[in-house]
Structure 1
Amino acid sequence: MSSDCKFLDQAPRFLFFTGKGGVGKTSIACASAVKLADAGRRVLLVSTDPASNVGQVFGIAIGNQITAIPAVSGLAALEIDPQAAAQAYRDRIVGPVRGVLPDSIVKGIEEQLSGACTTEIAAFDEFTALLTDSALTAGYDQIVFDTAPTGHTIRLLQLPGAWSGFLEQGKGDASCLGPLAGLEKQRSQYKAAVDALADPQRSRLILVARAQPSTLREVARTHEELDAIGLTQQYLAINGILPESATAQDPLANAIYQREQHALADMPAALNSLPMDRIALKPFNLVGLTALRQLLSNAAPLAMPDSEVMPALPAANLSTLVDEIAADGHGLVMLMGKGGVGKTTLAAGLAVELARRGLPVHLTTSDPAANLTDTLNGALPDLTVSKIDPHAETERYRQHVLSTKGAKLDEQGRALLEEDLRSPCTEEIAVFQAFSRIIREAGKKFVVMDTAPTGHTLLLLDATGAYHREVARQMGDSKTHFTTPMMQLQDPRQTKVLIVTLAETTPVLEAAHLQDDLRRAGIQPWAWVINNSVAATTVHSALLRQRAANELAEIAEVADRHAQRYALVPLLREEPTGVERLLALAGGQTPSPLVPTEHKGEG
């Protein structure tokens, strides 16, 4: 099949779309499925995204059963619900021991299965059959997956299967191997599924990114990670590129165009070898067949009516949040969110504004792609900067566990412990321990953290009680005062968590899921920050004005449903790098809300 997109040329049976939240993988997966069906193929579209909106895109209810898309001959869809799959998986493991083992042990098993690893494994469990059971998908020429299994999931499944007794005997450390304890029976099926993923005659992975340095760095890491475990048939789709035709007489649009072109020219070398497609930014929401059929076409986009006058948005700007944070004099400020939403820049902006006010600040990150030195491009007297190296911290943690717990094990037990420590979650725990050392400083100064531990990490560390309860047990009945890192994170007087998102459907849904994870770990987010908002600035380009109008529903969703307080940060003409621009970002020097020139004074 010939297509405007390389990734659809001579497509194998299985197509997997992967990428961070908000890059548009669901829209591209849906558009690809429609294009294949329109060409006469029988296509099954499968979503394993917890924030799936495939049904919303097509305007019908889909759910966890194969459902025909009436308006597209030959197309059917299925939405696997990872949360429901995870619950069924937990019930299958815990059910047989409930009432047999003491309640405290059963509760511990449930807690160990409450993290994100269980959800990942359960979702993979659900669609394994689609990869390996030919009878189940015999009626389809091609299967299109929205959200591929991550390298994290596949590395878990490639670890040996002798953990059940090892974990039960307490030889393993806090890791994400708990979810795998009941999987030995399915291991041959999982191996067949991973083999299918790695077979270029059967499978193709499409890495979806945006033309942003941080997103391109992340997708380069994903490419290298998947390539290293044998998934070599990869294509790159860079989505949402502002066309040059949309930049006329609009300084902001022109600046964005130039910025994106520089990002593409300077993309990581690892990506240059991949077949690449560039997909233009569209002015319309990608809902409905007409829009989907336009997405992958190089033809001129649909004409859109000029957007109406934009209302003044009631959100605070970032400086309002800084005022509240600064009033405490010290404390921990954690910025959380998915990749590509601008956490590093916002963390740096908060830190320099607090330091400008004469407050002592330690700014730190564990993001391998973050370059705080480049972002700051300068110094302030009250600001110190550090970067946690995840690889170094992981190796330090591994050596500590092997020299303590491993010293007491026989050769077989030590070998299994080493396998446990190769689990992807080991890095999360090691990084958290490094964070814990820095957290102690927040009693005397501000500590601003970029790429804070995920809700998943926090559940691993606290829901299983590995650290927190051990400290409590060692203290016994003594009246000695103690504070664990988790206690500090759970105390709103000591810690403020800011969730960063974009005013787009998937990033808001993913941020809401992160908030749920944090709340399960006993942490209440303090505020949300909606970054890079077109609706919070002034644009003249018809394309961008329509995009601004599309943001309003997502901003309202955050304001009305999710956030106790929130701030809106406008899309800026220049990248906020360097102390001066960061101070402008965090100090309230933001453009006024969008009011088109020809309508000033209305609304």
Structure 2
Amino acid sequence: MVQFLDDAPRHIFFTGKGGVGKTSVACATAVELTRRGKRVLIISTDPASNVGHVFGQTIGNRMTPIDAVPGLDALEIDPEQAAEAYRNRIIDPVRAILPPSEIATITEQLSGSCTVEIASFNEFTNLLADPSRTAGYDHVIFDTAPTGHTIRLLQLPGDWTAYLDAGRGDASCLGPMSGLDKSKNTYRAAVEALTDPDVTRLVLVARAQPSSLHEVNRTLTELAETGIQASHLVINGLLPHADDADPLHHAIEEREHAALEAMPAGLAALRRDDIPLKATTMIGVDALSRMFTSDEAHRSPDDVIVDLPEQPGLDELVDDLASQDHGLVMTMGKGGVGKTTIAAAIATELARRGKKVLLTTSDPATHLAATLAGEMAGLTVDSIDPERATQAYRERVMATRGSSLDEEGRAALAEDLRSPCTEEIAVFQEFSHAVNTARHQFVIIDTAPTGHTLLLMDATGSYHRDVLRHMDSAQRLHTTTPLMCLQDPEHTKIIIVTLPDTTPVLEATALVTDLARADIHPWAWVVNNSLAAAHPTSALLGRRARDEVTQIENVTAQATRWAVVPALANEPIGQAHLAALASGTEDPS
């Protein structure tokens, strides 16, 4: 049985990047604790999770008994609904006073990811701060946790409202703080509960993949700075050893082993539980009851039929792109879905076809140099240095707006500038230069993960409005801002990259919806790393491949064009492997 349940305290938080299985692990934990005779409440604030779907019943924003699990209640907090109510609480008092244009501006400022997270944390604060609210339960389980940035915001000294009055116009994350409707003592009590290991246990959840481990290591470090110490690490979905001869199975097994061997020392020091990959999805009590076990029987490959029609490959998208000699191509999606690889493969193939290509990245974890080992005629590789750009931006804001603030105000501004939003704003000027270059050649931009990407779009929109506001009508007719370029389907091709799994597809769909607010629409989708398209002979991988079909169909139902890229036995590093990926030819050994 798993170690993270040894002497479990009342509160258990699970945190990790999207798609690692936090909700499944949380639900399985709840089932196991009730099996031990405990009364349990599970709370979900994950926008991509659906505890009700896992247990097969409607839950919603109220404590609801789970019919199939006596002793278990569940509560789902919809973060988008919470954010909407939160925005209204801030805006309603001034809605009849301010002009519509200013109301629209405030609404946009309160539409970022920081607002969603702060609003979600605000919803369950009382459950942490006031133990009497959950006195009927032995354990309260959360399937996501606040970030270090949110906790630091709540720990700021002084009055948030006073800071906002002095520094309005620059704060990207402290604006949402003005809507907090409870006393600072309540938030202080909630943070104290999070930092007390006798009350709360924080469990990091990851996959045995470098990007996933990098993300939870960053979470570990950020939360430690606030006094919240993670004690346990769960590696979910670890591929078990197989004796069959499937090269893909063995390649994945070796890659996962190498990733675990190379994990950062801070993660390696935690107590670790490895949860083996199961052949079926974690839906229903029976499946959840088996999640922490490893004694799963496998069917023979003959019993596995993957009913996936032939799908277009990446080469067909490149064919369409190559009909022109210039343009902006942006790969967008959540971190870890393979945006860098897809961007590099497209750039390599376009250059091979004689096109002039600039491949650039604003991804904080820049992988292009490693992915595109070697030089190629017609291809230039560049990157925006997020750390350098962000540091310069912070120093500039502190020297200007921060100069008129007192010590507490400067501390608040400094924390505001540590938000994820700041990095995207800081790199925008260099990003807009690359947008303009696309008038004369191909520019392939590997953007940052989904949350960062949305904020990057927000920054672009702000720049767009600011440019137009300072022009007369004649100038506007002859001006093209970066946002106009992104909105122009003839100039810009947006490619949404996802994985054939529930959470990545939900997150990608949410990204498309958010982009539509700015009148930006995807040109194509890429479903990356598909087992179904790789036709594995391994019994376990074959059954997982079968489960991918529904998610691929979900993508094709909403996409005008798409490509499905198979999972590869070899990492797509270097020109030969990238060329094979882009051309649809056999992967070189």
The answer on whether the counterparts of 1:348 and 1:582 sit within 8 Å (CA) in structure 2 is yes
Query: Once the 2 structures are TM-superposed, how far is the Cα of residue 45 of structure 1 from its aligned partner?
Result: 0.7
RMSD value, Cα: 2.3
Q: Which residue does the alignment assign to 1:342?
A: 338
Task: Work out whether residues 237 and 276 of structure 1, in 8 Å CA contact, stay in contact via their aligned partners in 2.
Answer: yes
Q: 1:328 aligns with which of 324, 333, 358?
A: 324
Q: Which residue of 1 aligns with 2:454?
A: 456
1:189 matched to 2:186? The reply is yes
Q: Is the 8 A contact 2:95 2:103 kept in 1?
A: yes
Q: Which residue of 1 aligns with 2:271?
A: 275
CA apart distance, 1:249: 2.1
Residue 109 (str. 1) matches residue 110 (str. 2):
no
TM superposition score normalised by structure 1: 0.91
Change in 2 beyond 3 A, CA 1:487/1:136: same
In 1: Cα distance, 2:96 partner to 2:37 partner: 55
**Distance verdict in 2 for CA 1:233–1:258, change over 3 Å:** closer
141-150 vs 429-438, greater mean Cα deviation: 429-438
Alpha-carbon spacing, 1:263–1:187, altered in 2? closer, same or farther (3 Å): same
- Unpaired runs of 5+ residues, structure 2, are none
Identify the residue that residue 357 of structure 1 maps to in structure 2. 353
Q: Compute the displacement of 1:172 (Å).
A: 3.6
Matched, 1:208 2:217: no
1:222 aligned onto 2:216: no
SS at match of 1:569: strand
Residue 239 of structure 1 is matched in structure 2 by 236
* 1:547 counterpart residue number: 544
- Report SS of the residue matched to 2:526: strand
Preserved CA contact (<8 Å) 2:386 2:423: yes
Q: Which residue of 2 aligns with 1:594?
A: none
Give me the whole-angstrom Cα distance separating, in 2, the residues matched to 1:312 and 1:135.
Answer: 52
Inter-partner Cα distance in structure 1 for 2:215 and 2:583: 29
Query: Which residue number in structure 1 is paired with residue 527 of structure 2?
Result: 530
Q: What amino acid sits opposite 2:262 in the alignment? A: D
Of 372, 376, 387, the residue aligned with 1:376 is 372
AA in 2 matched with 1:523? I
Measured after TM superposition, the shift of residue 301 of structure 1 is 4.6
Tell me by how many angstroms 1:505 deviates: 0.9
- Give 1:9 deviation, angstroms: 1.2
Equivalence for 2:480: 483
**C-alpha contact 2:46 2:144 (8 A) present in aligned 1:** yes
Cα distance, 1:468 vs structure 2: 1.9
Relative to structure 1, the CA distance from residue 187 to residue 446 in structure 2 (aligned partners, 3 Å threshold; closer, same or farther) is: farther
Does residue 392 of structure 2 align to residue 389 of structure 1? no
Alpha-carbon distance, 1:484 to partner: 2.2
User: Aligned pair in 2 of structure 1 residues 490, 191: CA closer, same or farther (>3 Å)?
Assistant: farther
The answer as to whether partners of 1:306 and 1:545 remain within 8 angstroms in 2 is: no
**Preserved CA contact (<8 Å) 1:113 1:179:** yes
- In the TM superposition, residue 158 of structure 1 has moved relative to its aligned partner by 3.2
The one-letter amino acid of 1:219's match is: V
Which secondary structure state, in structure 2, belongs to the residue aligned with residue 27 of structure 1?
helix
Tell whether the 8 Å contact from 1:82 to 1:123 is kept in structure 2 after alignment: yes
- SS for the counterpart of 1:135 is helix
CA drift of 1:274 comes to 1.2
Residues 523, 452 of structure 1: CA spacing in aligned structure 2 closer, same or farther, 3 A cutoff?
farther
Query: Where does residue 299 of structure 1 map in the other structure?
Result: 295
The one-character-per-residue Cα deviations of 1:491-519 (angstroms, maximum 9, x if unpaired) are 22222111111111111111111111111
Residue 90 (str. 1) matches residue 90 (str. 2): no
| Closer, same or farther: CA 329–79 of 1 in aligned 2, 3 Å | same
2:527 alignment partner AA:
I
Hey, what's the Cα distance between the residues in 2 that align with 1:388 and 1:502? 26
TM-aligned CA distance change 1:140 to 1:185, over 3 Å:
closer
| SS of 2:493 mapped into structure 1 | strand
Superposed CA offset, 1:462-496 (max 9, x none): 56x4x222211222234362222222222222221
The CA distance in 2 between the partners of 1:234 and 1:200, in whole Å, is 9
TM-score (norm 2): 0.93
Distance 1:575 1:422 in 2: 34
The answer as to 2:510 corresponding to 1:513 is yes
**Cα shift readout 1:66-109 (whole Å, capped 9, x = no counterpart):** 11112212111111111111111112111122222222222222
Corresponding residue for residue 580 of structure 1: 576
- 1:431 counterpart residue number: 427
Q: Which amino acid aligns with 1:236?
A: L
Partner of 1:600: none
Q: CA deviation at 1:410?
A: 6.1
Measured at CA, do residues 263 and 45 of structure 1 come closer, stay the same or move farther in structure 2, by a change above 3 Å? same
Q: Distance in 2 between matches of 1:95 and 1:564?
A: 39
After superposition, the Cα gap between the structure-2 partners of 1:555 and 1:39, relative to the gap in structure 1 and judged at 3 Å, is same
Cα distance between partner residues in 2 of 1:302 and 1:308: 10
Residues in 2 aligned to 1:185 and 1:352: alpha-carbon distance in whole angstroms: 54
Equivalent in the alignment of 1:599:
none
**1:177 and 2:177 correspond:** no
Q: Deviations over 1:343-398 (max 9, x none)?
A: 12112111111111121222222333332222112111222222322221111112
Query: Structure 1 residues 305 and 385, CA, compared in 2 at 3 Å: closer, same or farther?
Result: closer
Structure 1 residues 65 and 58: CA distance shift in structure 2, 3 A = same
Name the CA distance, whole Å, in 2 between partners of 1:96 and 1:281.
51
Partner of 1:315: 311
Shift of 1:144: 0.8
Shift of 1:551: 0.7
Q: What is the CA distance between 1:146 and its match in structure 2?
A: 0.8
Indicate the SS of the match to 2:133: coil
Instruction: State the Cα deviation string for residues 232-261 of structure 1 (Å, max 9, x = none).
Output: 13311111111113x512122112112211
1:52, distance to aligned residue in structure 2 (A): 1.8
- Asked whether the equivalents of residues 31 and 69 of structure 2 are also in contact (C-alpha less than 8 Å), the reply is yes
Mark the CA change 1:436 to 1:164 in structure 2 (over 3 Å): closer, same or farther. Answer: farther
Contact 1:528 1:566 in 2 (8 A): yes
What residue is the counterpart of 1:568 in the other structure?
A: 564
For 1:142-157, what aligned pairs fall within 5 Å after superposition? Answer: 142-157=139-154
- The more displaced of 41-50 and 514-523 is 514-523
CA contact (8 A) 2:330 2:444 kept: yes
The secondary structure found in structure 2 opposite 1:479 is helix
Aligned length: 583
- Is 1:400 paired with 2:422? no
1:37 to 2:34 alignment: yes
The range that moved more, 181-190 or 488-497, is 181-190
Supply the distance in 2 between the matched residues of 1:536 and 1:13 (Cα, whole angstroms): 44
Any idea what SS the aligned residue of 2:434 has?
Answer: helix
Task: Say which SS state the counterpart of residue 528 (structure 1) adopts.
Answer: strand
Structure 2 CA distance for aligned equivalents of residues 452 and 299 of structure 1: 39
CA distance in 2, matches of 1:414, 1:126: 28
Which whole-Å deviations, capped at 9, do the CAs of 1:102-158 have from their partners, x for residues lacking one? 222222222221222211111111111111121210111111111111223223333
More moved, 387-396 vs 480-489: 480-489
What is the one-letter code of the residue matched to 1:493? Answer: E
DSSP-derived class of the 1:536 partner? helix
Conservation of the 8 A alpha-carbon contact between 1:455 and 1:518 = no
Partner SS for 1:492: coil
Give SS of 1:499's match.
Answer: strand
> Aligned partners of 2:429 and 2:182: how far apart in 1?
35
Structure 1 pair 305–177 and aligned structure 2 pair: CA distance change class (3 A): same
Q: Are the counterparts in 2 of residues 177 and 423 from structure 1 also a CA contact under 8 Å?
A: no
Cα distance between partner residues in 2 of 1:341 and 1:264 = 19
Instruction: Give 3-state SS (helix, strand or coil) of 2:42's partner.
Output: strand
Equivalence for 1:54: 51
Aligned counterparts of 1:434 and 1:119: Cα–Cα separation in 2: 28
Determine which of 135, 139, 154 is the counterpart of 1:138: 135
Query: Which residue number in structure 1 is paired with residue 555 of structure 2?
Result: 558
> Retained in 2: the 8 A contact 1:6–1:276?
yes
> Is the partner of 1:535 in helix, strand or coil?
helix
